A and B are shown apart, each in its own frame.
Chain A
Amino acid sequence: MPKLSPAAAAAALALCAGVARAAEPAAAAAAAPPAVRLEVAADYYRLPNGLRVVLSRDASVPTVTVAVYYHIGFRIEPRNRTGFAHLFEHLMFQETTNLAKGEADRLVSGNGGIANGSTRFDYTNYFEVVPSHVLEPVLWVEAERMRGLALSATSLQNQKDVVKNEVRVNVLDRPYGGFPWLDLPQFANRNWYNAHNFYGDFADIDGATLEDVRAFYDTYYVPSNAVLVVAGDFDAGAARAAIERYFGPLPTRPAPAQADVSEPAQHAERRGQRVDPRAPRPAIAFGYHVPPRNTPEWYAFGLIDQILLQGEDSRLWARLVQQRGYADAVEGGINLVGNMFDYQGPMLWSAYLVHDAASSERAITRDFDAVVEGLRRRPVPPAELERALTKIRSALYDVAGSSDRFGLVDLLASFALFDDDPGRIDRIEAEFRKVTPALIQRTAREYLAPASRTRLVLLPGGKAPQAAP
């Protein structure tokens, strides 16, 4: 749901992890590593047809969360079919061999659960949280979707209409719609996979055919390109048996070849500008390419994000909001439609704000640069680094302790899908703890250089609508 929601952006560092075991909470000794450590129970195995399965049991609440993640996101779609990955997500809720339109929703929601799906850079997911006793029918539904999409022409047309209305309400008719999550990648990237309109041009959406749907489904929606996660209150033996029963018979199909999404190095600042006739105030966004996933520099960048941007204690907040008063908030993070873990490929770190016309782009950029330069010139004080680690740890607990477990399954699925290692979830915090002030400074020097930046400006234009009295 990449609506431009401040909450989503602020939670950009949605780590996750499971149940905190741990002894007594440590009495907060300053700078000492916490005595509490997260440990997520996670069984990981593969069915013979290649489907990866993660089981994470925690019976503290009588609900269970099921998610299937397919390794196909909006980054990768046919060139004349922009928006197709997302349109396809909608189609997976229509007819299947054994379910008429709407029946899957009735099965899940009508038994007390919540269902949804989402399309992101490198995955499309389908997920449910249901009372524990509804697990088996939900597993059946997900297997049914994986083996038997049976879309009608009527439903295809209906969902094209729905998706176009989604784009209208979220982007076309919305002030600041798509700013900057949809706009910035189009200016900051050069590889088409990273730089096209992820929501899709209407001509491309209108042009989608049942043949396109079949080809996409046969290529990407195969067991070897997917991960199934079950997290929550379930009986491990019964769950394994049900998974074998429903997913086991699906035929083995080759995993799709992965497209080359690599982004060429950037050597000069890039500028973009967009006029938004519905926006009453200008806005500005800054974007930088983050280090490759899983490297020490990438963990350092996760801390840089905390130090510079996350929370009202961050440096950019202090300068741009508190001291200069350019805006009531500065927002952003790594991966504006997810978190720093749930993608695989090039990614931007972004920071953005809406300001008054009296504040010039130049003045804001000067202050922004001064803050960034501070991090490149001087090592981070230990207390500030410790505070960044504390924010990460606190976020981690919340993902683990959330009753819908969506954050938890997101991490488990991403680590299985992209790294073949869901157990990584238990090692995240330790990886962050290895980061030194020197590594942060080095990483900032390399990745936050002015030449690596993209600056996008949104200019207001046109007339505001007549408001009610």
Chain B
Amino acid sequence: MSRRAMIAAALGALLAAGPAPGREAPPPVGQPHPFALPAKHEFTLPNGLAVTLVPFGTVPKTTILVALRTGNVADGDKSGLADLTASLMKEGAGARDAEGVARAAAEMGGALEVGAGPDQFSVSLDVLAERADDAIGLIADVLRRPRLPPAELPRLKADMTRQMAIARSQPQAIAGEALAHLIWGDSVYGRTLPTDAQIASIGIDDVRRFVATEFGAARTHVYVAGRFDPPAVERALRAAFGDWAAGPAPRQGAPEGARRRIVRLIDRPGATQSTILMGLPVPTPATPGFMRLSLANALLGGSLLSRLDQNLREDKGYTYGASSHITPHQGVAAWALATDVNAPQTAAALGEIFRELARLRSEPAPAAELQLIKNYRAGTFVLGASSRPGLLAQLAFLDQQGLDDDWLTHYVEHVNAVTPEELRAAAAEALDPAAMTIVVVGPLAQIKAGIEALEALHGAEFR
């Protein structure tokens, strides 16, 4: 019940346009205040475990994030194995049973999170600063000494089966699963929702093997941010992880993604809206010139002020929101555009989307419009770097993508350097609608004919 449920990113425009005659103009902005990223302290233990400490913030809290370079990429044909492993690791570790783990975390003022993604596995805990050492001990227990009680596995598998059934009832998740599979095939990025059969096939030996073979110091990075005593935290980390085996090297992702025009229509009888999701693989953040593409995306669909929202929402009223995103994985990245539109206007909305893509790729953006996006990106960058979770996310992103500190320290300059023509050229190269896979989930009896008749989809392969 907000004007917009999610603030994704943004652009804007009042600076350039003066007020109409007879109207009062807003006061001018002042001089920007200086902002510096907090200093970080980095070191690597002899076993290869990397550590980044960032003393930071005003309140006595500390966040510890342990990121391991593995994940569903190690599932094999048992999709969901990494997630089930993560769940079972919370069911007791070291001297504590499941309730003991939960209570210990709560007594530190935190809640233990263990989670798996396609190419990252993470354990995190956000606690009162005076308990940072204890939190490191608890995390080490969970990572190195999980009990993995077999008796709890059936319950966790039933939970996962239920979660997947719920996900498959949501049009956005249905569309996401279809798009991912069409682009990435059977690789890890193409398998978003494990099937009931895959979940059923997972046994305690699979989980034990995952823990035994996938974890180790050499593929692990520990990030600590907040108010804490760095020498004490360093001592605690060395005590907790110094004698951990190096284990295997970091896993690499990077399958080939498909750039091809396929249209997939999935029926959802009775739905009042159509979920549109379209995308394709794009260059990763480590690619030279990535910032140009990133700004092109921001201008198109990165904020409330972006062209998609201005057109589809504020002008046409077709939707509550339309946005586009770049999702970087390891070694590959995907761009996607998402919106849920009133069903009778599905074809019209797609037509507007294609028009906006064509405009983005053929016309350099007006300088004033581009400046507003740049301001937005610079401002929200500072905001993101000003919280513990935001800062840790940025640092982990840098490591995942193999970027150096320059990405952060000169971020604003890189943003400001992009010209309208560079932005257009980046969009022309990376965001070709003819190479996009398009998924629509909606009431097909009502929308199918209109979609098939779209000129922009002439000759497309419908599946």
Residues of chain A whose beta carbon lies under 8 Å from any beta carbon of chain B: 1-3, 19-20, 22, 25-28, 36, 58, 60-63, 74, 86, 89-90, 93, 97-103, 105-120, 129-137, 140-141, 144, 157-166, 168-170, 172-176, 198-199, 233, 242, 277-281, 311-313, 317-318, 322, 325, 327-328, 337, 354-356, 387, 390-391, 393-394, 397-398, 400-404, 462-469
Contact = CB atoms under 8 A, between A and B. Distances in A.
A279 B169 contact: yes
B130 A403 contact: no
Contacts of A134: 29-30
A260 B383 CA distance: 41
A398 B127 CA distance: 10
Given A117-B2, A322-B99, A354 B378 contact: no
B40 to A, nearest CB: 17
A355 B6 CA distance: 28
B155 A165 contact: no
A89 B3 CA distance: 7
A314 to B, nearest CB: 8
B15 A105 contact: no
Given A110-B372, A233-B33, A468 B317 contact: no
A110 B11 contact: yes
Interface stretch (B66-74, B261-269, B396-404): B261-269
Contact of B58 (A58, A112, A144): A58
A146 to B, nearest CB: 14
Given A116-B7, A131-B33, 13 more contacts: A97-B23, A102-B305, A110-B305, A136-B30, A166-B320, A169-B340, A199-B1, A356-B158, A356-B162, A394-B126, A397-B61, A398-B59, A468-B264
Contacts of B4: 116
Interface stretch (B281-289, B307-315, B420-428): B307-315
B186 to A, nearest CB: 11
Given A102-B305, A117-B3, A280 B12 contact: no
B297 interface: no
Nearest to A306: B106
B394 interface: no
Contact of A109 (B20, B112, B175, B304): B304
A168 B19 CA distance: 37
Contacts of B2: 1, 89, 116-119
23 contacts: A1-B6, A22-B60, A28-B128, A61-B35, A86-B1, A107-B14, A109-B11, A110-B15, A116-B4, A131-B379, A134-B30, A136-B28, A168-B320, A168-B342, A176-B166, A311-B106, A325-B159, A327-B159, A391-B106, A398-B61, A462-B270, A465-B169, A465-B266
A101 B318 CA distance: 17
A110 B319 contact: no
B55 interface: no
B26 A107 contact: yes
Contacts of B160: 328
A22 B105 CA distance: 23
A63 B162 contact: no
B109 A63 contact: no
Contacts of A100: 20
Nearest to B4: A116
Contacts of B7: 114, 116
Nearest to B303: A109
B379 A313 contact: no
A278 to B, nearest CB: 6
A398 B269 CA distance: 44
B103 interface: yes
Contacts of A165: 273, 317-320, 340-342
Given A131-B32, A137-B29, A356-B158, A63 B271 contact: no
Interface string B30-58: 11111100000000000000000000011
A376 to B, nearest CB: 22
B357 interface: no
Nearest to A280: B165
Contacts of B174: 465, 467-468
A467 B177 contact: yes
Contacts of B102: 311-313, 317
Contacts of B252: none
Given A63-B383, A468-B264, A394 B314 contact: no
Interface in B78-129: 90, 98-99, 102-103, 105-112, 126-129
A181 B31 CA distance: 44
A328 B33 contact: no
B59 A468 contact: no
Contacts of B32: 62, 131-133
B378 A112 contact: yes
Contacts of A97: 23-24
A201 B270 CA distance: 19
B393 interface: no
Nearest to B391: A403
A112 B305 CA distance: 12
